[in-house]
Structure 1
Amino acid sequence: MSFITQEFTERCGPTSRTCIWSVAGGGIEITDSVTSGFADIAINTPVKLLQNALTGSRLWSSRAPAPYLRGLATIPQNDRLILALDPSLGCKTFEDIRTRKPRLKIILGPDRESPIGFASHRYLEAHGVSVDEIRSWGGEVVFANRPEECLVPCQDPKLGFNAVINEALMTDWWAKLIDGPRGFIPMPAEPAALVTIEKTTGLPGSTIPAGYWKSLKEEIPALEFVDFILMCRDDLPEDVAYLITWILVTKKAKIEANYHGFPGDRAPISWPMDPRKMAKTVYPLHPGAERFYRENGYL
């Protein structure tokens, strides 16, 4: 976001300034900031869950529909959400978990406060391993918002965590947990559960290919958790929307350069960024963004 605001300000009047606001929680406030009119633009993930803000459904069922949300661009990210367990528990599948009823100390996002937390809870419920079930087995449930707040503590055995569910698979946080000394085992998602999760979240099933981590020898099913949307309201001035979209597309090489150390489909932002795919957003395109894409042959 700082890249966008800097490039934007450089092309505005000499006294122009922008401000970037951080959020304290798990991410649902990002969309709230735009729907309320507090923020002009924001970025959030995953897009197939975020589209429910338009209708006030699923994660947004406690909020009014926001049909005035608009998209400026889809920013690509190829991600998944999974559950992983300490190998000492002796579980390699969800059936093992349901049968053994291990005493888990799990860390995950709080329900209904973030896209990650909401998806994580629906994922566990669909597999018959809800937080209530975990507690009934004598387990402990700890909540944290961001991926690193969940994944980094699991790397320290002294903290006692033996289970975690999250996304951000391309990060070292996951690599160290799966291929490092703790050797956590990712649980393959069950096909029937993935069907249920798509109904409750809008997120479809996907897979993690063999070799994604050194210890992952076979492809496993997981939950798709892809792409960011750069969003705004329909009352954002058209010239502002046009300029922001122009920046994202014409200066995208500057964004991509930050991720050339990653394989293109395993970067925090996938590269190369394709303007034709960027123009396909789960919210209706803002007229200013649409005009840019059409003028340049991307629509």
Structure 2
Amino acid sequence: MTSTPAGPRPREPRIGRSLTLHLRGDWGGANLHRVCGWISQELTDRCGPHTRVAIWNGRGFSDSVRAVGRGEVHIALTTPAAFAAAALDGRGAYEGEGFPELRALGVVPQRDRLVVGVHRSLGVSTFAELREAKPVLRLATSVHDGVNHVGLAAHEILDRSGVDVTGWGGEFIEDERPFETFAHVKAGRANAVAHEAVMLPHWQEWGGDLHFLEVEENVLDGLWNDLSWPAAVVEEGHFPGCPRFRTLDFSDFLVLARSDLPDDVAYAIAWVLGETRHVIERQYRHLPPERSPVTYPLDPVTMGESPVPLHPGAAEYYGALPQA
């Protein structure tokens, strides 16, 4: 990640009136809620004395996008960032309910991938071999309910790759959060997995027992063309004994609002993200950056690069940053 250029910093916000804001994060104990807490603390310090910020529980996926788009909350976080682009014009999971008024306040970087792995005992190392062998898979992933992005992405990849888990006599083992999925793989209840959070140490415990399948180019192209989901690389050695391969990008936390959020509030939140980044960074510095759920050091310029158009107030902040 590039370092932030030196030079005069954007003006610090001061909002004289007191605000009441509603934010939406994750289930309550994960990274999106941490980011919400960081935003609420630093924003409240710079607003009127009776400012109140509520953080609502959610799931951090399409539910967050809809909550903002429907006006249920002022700000919400969702991951991966790129998946929100389809909501602008009602594609994919948002078919029939587009939200063209969605705007971004910034992106908190998290370098992540969604990967498909199968146990080495199955003797397959590519999707082509998997289609030919048609093994009985007990595939652990997240729930496929149109909200959870992990389950949504896993099924899109498998379906477009010609993998028929149930048709081949297998089953999906579905849970909401990754830790339950990881427990199924570790205990041997699952012989295949499709999931994200690849920086977590759990993958190092049993990743060497899996072949990770490179997603085929036509599948990645289709996901990009149809849904604006980008591809990315997992570098050699990220998993024990695993070569470099391409798969679906699952990166970044997107901070979303609507276009009717007041400009000064949008500017203030973007300023908080960029100028008080040390507050969130220090919560992760006990981890190497490549193994951290937030990929520090944060770079304000990069945080302004969003798959959803920036709110004009946020754009004012990112536009005032010193340029390299």
* Corresponding residue of 1:247: 272
Q: Of residues 84, 87, 95 in structure 2, which corresponds to 1:53?
A: 87
- 1:153 corresponds in structure 2 to 184
> How far 1:195 moved relative to its partner?
2.0
Q: Deviations over 1:124-178 (max 9, x none)?
A: 112110xxx2112111123222222322322112xx2111101111112322231
In structure 1, the residue matched to 2:259 is 234
Match for residue 209 of structure 1? 235
Change (3 A) 1:75 1:26: closer
Counterpart-to-counterpart distance in 1, 2:60 and 2:157:
17
CA positional deviation for 1:79? 1.3
Alignment of 1:260-275 (within 5 A): 260-275=285-300
Tell me the distance in 2 between the aligned counterparts of 1:187 and 1:153: 19
Mapped partners of 2:301, 2:109: distance in 1: 12
Match of residue 194 from structure 2: 165
C-alpha distance in 1 between matches for 2:186 and 2:304: 39
SS at match of 2:251: coil
Aligned to 1:137: 168
Q: 1:242 and 1:138 mapped to 2: Cα distance?
A: 54
Distance 1:185 1:261, change over 3 A: farther
Would you say the 8 A contact 1:78–1:227 is kept in 2?
A: yes
Residue ranges of structure 1 left out of the alignment (5+ in a row) = none
- TM-score relative to the length of structure 1: 0.89
> Aligned partners of 2:148, 2:226: CA distance in 1, in Å?
15
Paired residue secondary structure (1:273): coil
C-alpha distance in 2 between matches for 1:242 and 1:290: 8
Match of 1:285 in 2: 310
Matched AA of 2:140:
I
Tell me the secondary structure at the aligned position of residue 140 of structure 2: strand
Higher helix share: 1
Give the aligned partner of residue 69 of structure 1. Answer: 102
Match in the other structure for 2:148: 114
What code does the residue aligned with 1:87 have?
Answer: R
Conservation of the 8 A alpha-carbon contact between 1:126 and 1:194: no
2:114 maps to what in 1? Answer: 81
Rounded Cα–Cα distance in structure 2 between residues aligned with 1:88 and 1:296: 53
Match of 1:222 among 221, 227, 247: 247
CA distance in 2, matches of 1:40, 1:173: 35
CA contact (8 A) 1:26 1:145 kept: no
1:13 aligns with 2:48: yes
Structure 1 residues 16, 46: CA separation in 2 closer, same or farther (over 3 Å shift)? same
Superposed CA deviations along residues 87-135 of structure 1, whole A, max 9, x for unmatched, are: 2222222122112111111122305222222211111112110xxx211
Q: What SS class does the counterpart of residue 11 from structure 1 fall into?
A: coil
> Do residues 93 (structure 1) and 93 (structure 2) align?
no
CA RMSD in angstroms comes to 2.0
Q: Secondary structure at the match of 2:53?
A: coil
Runs of 4+ in 1 over 3 A off after TM superposition: 295-299
Count of residues in correspondence between the two structures: 288
- Aligned residue identity for 1:88: S
* CA distance in 1: counterparts of 2:75 and 2:116, whole angstroms: 32
CA gap of 1:293–1:220, structure 2 versus 1, over 3 A, is closer
1:127 matched residue in structure 2: 161
Alignment-derived partner of residue 2 in structure 1: 37
1:2 and 1:20 mapped to 2: Cα distance?
A: 8
Whole-angstrom distance in 1 between the partners of 2:49 and 2:306: 32
Task: Give the secondary structure class of the aligned counterpart of 1:210.
Answer: coil
Cα deviation for residue 69 of structure 1 reads 0.7
Identical aligned pairs, as a percentage? 33
Which amino acid letter does the alignment assign opposite residue 112 of structure 1?
G
Query: Could you tell me how far 1:223 is from its partner in structure 2?
Result: 1.4
